Amino acid sequence: MPGNHLHCVSVPTAMTAKRPRNLILILGDQLSRSLSALADADPSVDRIVMAEVAEEAGYTNHHRKKIALIFSAMRHFAQTLIDEGFQVDYHRFDPHGAHHSLGDVMRERAEQVSPERVVMTRSGEWRLESLIDEWQLPVPLERRDDDRFIASIERFQRWAAGKKQWRMEFFYRELRRETGLLMNADGTPVGGQWNFDADNRRKWKGDPPAPAPFFVEPDPTTQGVLTLVAEQFPEHFGSLEGFGYAVTRRHALAALEHFLTQRLPWFGDFQDAMSDQEDTLFHSLLAPYLNCGLLTPMEVCRAAEQCYHQGRAPLNAVEGFIRQILGWREFVRGIYWTLMPDYAQENRQGNDRALPWFYWSGETKMRCMQQTINATQRNAYAHHIQRLMVTGNFALLAGVRPEEICDWYLAVYADAYDWVELPNTLGMVMHADGGVLGSKPYAASGKYIHRMSDYCRQCPYNVQHTTDEDACPFNSLYWHFIDRHRDQFAANPRMGMIYRNWDRQDRNRRSATIARAEQLLANIETL
């Protein structure tokens, strides 16, 4: 990036004299050249604004690697626009400056340059959309739909209308048909089956070895950002050590290629596996790039599909991967925009427990929790099963207030944005929406963690025990959860067997299990 200040670089002569047509705002998660706000952008008449501001960097305790990723990717994206000939008013983070919010910046810019209008693509969050509603700009504001998703919000709502239950699987099948992804010419799914989930549950025992994560050496722009974040965000969660995220589209495409060649072939087999030694296994680590706009979901799905057709990856891997993006990612976004803002307030189990401090410190004896939280602290990443079945499962079983656990997930991951984090946490993990997102809670005892990982071998708790002094906390907490929510779940056909198993247990054993769980809950900070 030339010069110390990114403000107003590269001014095309034709523009300087006259009033700009559009003043285009690009947000930190809108770093796509195909963005609707840029569709008709013309360097000779339009001008672009990007801004690093305290309001966005501080609405939650963002992991410091996430702030660094966004700021550096924003600066690089601004440079590519400058290289195209655009005038970009880029506001670097300045805690002592006059502008702390996007609204402040846009009001000032609009007053100074007096464009015909301000143009932007709709933001990804309810919070920011509501703030934008309050901006009092001196010129009209045109908000365009975000068409970087595979399905529009209207498409989801057309599908959802009139259905008693919304299930990802059926929306996913519709999108498979519409896009043709992994479809035969006769309209049947490739492989004769829509879903290969049953083939995605192998435990990983070290073979094949897990590849090292894709890493990009920080360039001078990123180094500058890392220094800034270290200085300005000392209290934020997470380490900046070993920052290696891609911050340009070129490098994000290289990260995609790394995934396709080194991870995708085994993604399916080990999708649900967890390891004490390896943080990422065969996951793609692409969510941060998809969510900030450096990659688009369709190009990623097509690239994976091509690997299947070229014989580079098996169907259970490619279908499993495409299902996450075409299925889950699109589905949760539809739910978010259909049910907000009330959705964020849901708490159907009436949970009122505070989030234990060890979620922030990692200081717990439970090996699975410690490893997941420490990896989160180091990498701003944990894979889906760690999020769902370790930290998520514990919060569900312990009855943590949804608001607090949601805020934790929003803060600690580089890919975290409200539209995707909230339905996953409040719905999938906490079941606080009463089953909109999933038909039953993903509650599990230590047995599940033991089956899918090697954490228990390193843990001072014994996964085989439920009531003893050394018993794995997940075991008694699981039954406590089942027991205390009988009214809500006993009639659920997918949970009847669990209640029958619980009721069949000896009365003394059940009492001992409940007593052990209550003792753990009373001393939760010491686990």
Q: Interface with ligand DLZ by CB under 6 A: which residues? A: 27-29, 51-53, 56-57, 62, 67, 70, 123-125, 128, 417
> Which position among 99, 283, 485, 516 is part of the footprint of ligand FAD (CB under 6 A)?
283
Q: Residue from 327, 383, 446, 477 that binds ligand SF4 (CB under 6 A)? A: 446
Does residue number 463 form part of the binding site for ligand SF4 (CB under 6 A)?
Answer: yes
Q: What is the largest CA-CA distance in the chain?
A: 85
User: For ligand SF4, which residue of 35, 74, 452, 456 counts as binding (CB under 6 A)?
Assistant: 456
Nearer Cβ to ligand DLZ (72/513):
72
Token pair 């996913």 is at which residue? 172
Query: Binding residue for ligand SF4 (CB under 6 A) from 455, 479, 481, 489?
Result: 455
- What's the CA gap between 513 and 507, in Å, rounded? 10
Q: With beta carbons less than 8 A apart as the criterion, state whether 27 and 120 touch.
A: yes
Distance between CA 422 and CA 43 in Å, rounded?
Answer: 37
In this chain, which of 252, 255, 295, 388 binds ligand FAD, going by CB under 6 A? 388
State the nearest-atom distance from the C-beta of 124 to ligand DLZ, in Å: 3
d(CA 254, CA 296): 14
**Cβ contact 48:88 at 8 Å:** yes
The rounded distance, in Å, linking the Cα atoms of 82 and 95 is 25
In one-letter notation, the amino acid at residue 92 is R
- Residue 387 makes contact with ligand FAD by CB under 6 A: yes
Question: Which of ligand FAD, ligand DLZ, ligand SF4, none lies near 416, with the C-beta cut-off 5 to 8 A by kind?
Answer: ligand FAD
How far is it, in rounded angstroms, from Cα 256 to Cα 290?
Answer: 10
Q: In this structure, what token pair is assigned to residue 280?
A: 């990422």
Angle at 179 between CA 177 and CA 183, to 5 degrees: 55
Q: What is the edge-to-edge ordering of all strands in the sheet holding 117-121?
A: 87-91, 47-51, 22-25, 117-121, 141-144
| Site for ligand FAD contains 172 (CB under 6 A) | no
Is residue 50 at the binding interface for ligand FAD, with CB under 6 A as the rule?
A: no
Interface residue with ligand SF4 among 226, 264, 301, 449 (CB under 6 A) is 449
Site string for ligand SF4, 405-444 (x = CB under 6 A): ----------------------------------------
Q: Which is nearer to ligand DLZ, 322 or 414 (CB)?
A: 414
Is residue 76 involved in binding ligand SF4 (CB under 6 A)? Answer: no
> Cα–Cα distance between 261 and 197 in angstroms, integer?
22
With CB under 6 A as the contact rule, the residue among 420, 444, 472, 520 that binds ligand FAD is 420
Residue 123 binding target from ligand DLZ, ligand SF4, ligand FAD, none, CB below 5 to 8 Å by type:
ligand DLZ
| Residues near 325 by beta carbon (within 8 Å), at least 6 away in sequence | 150, 290, 297, 300, 301
- Does residue 141 sit in helix, strand or coil? strand
**In the complex, minimum distance from the CB of residue 472 to ligand SF4, in angstroms, rounded to a whole number:** 3
Separation between Cα atoms, residue 26 and residue 35, nearest integer Å: 9
Among positions 473-492, residues that touch ligand SF4 (CB under 6 A) are 473-474
Instruction: Name the residue number minimizing CB distance to ligand DLZ.
Output: 28
Burial 413-438 (b: 16+ CB within 10 A, else e): bbbbbbbbbbbbbbbbbbbbbebbbb
**Region binding ligand SF4 by CB under 6 A among candidate stretches 203-211, 238-246, 375-383, 469-477:** 469-477
Cα 88–chain centre separation: 29
Q: Which does 316 bind (CB under 5 to 8 A by kind): ligand SF4, ligand FAD, ligand DLZ, none?
A: none
- Contact with ligand SF4 (CB under 6 A) among 86, 270, 381, 461: 461
CA-atom Rg of the chain in angstroms: 24
Residue located via tokens 């964020």: 344
Cβ atoms within 10 Å of 230's Cβ, excluding its own: 12
- The CB-of-21 to ligand FAD minimum distance in angstroms stands at 35
- Binding residues (CB under 6 A) for ligand FAD: these are 283-287, 290-291, 321, 324-325, 328-329, 332, 383-384, 387-388, 392, 409, 413, 415-417, 420-421, 424-425, 428-429
- Binding residues (CB under 6 A) for ligand SF4: these are 366-368, 446, 449-450, 455-456, 459, 461, 463, 472-474
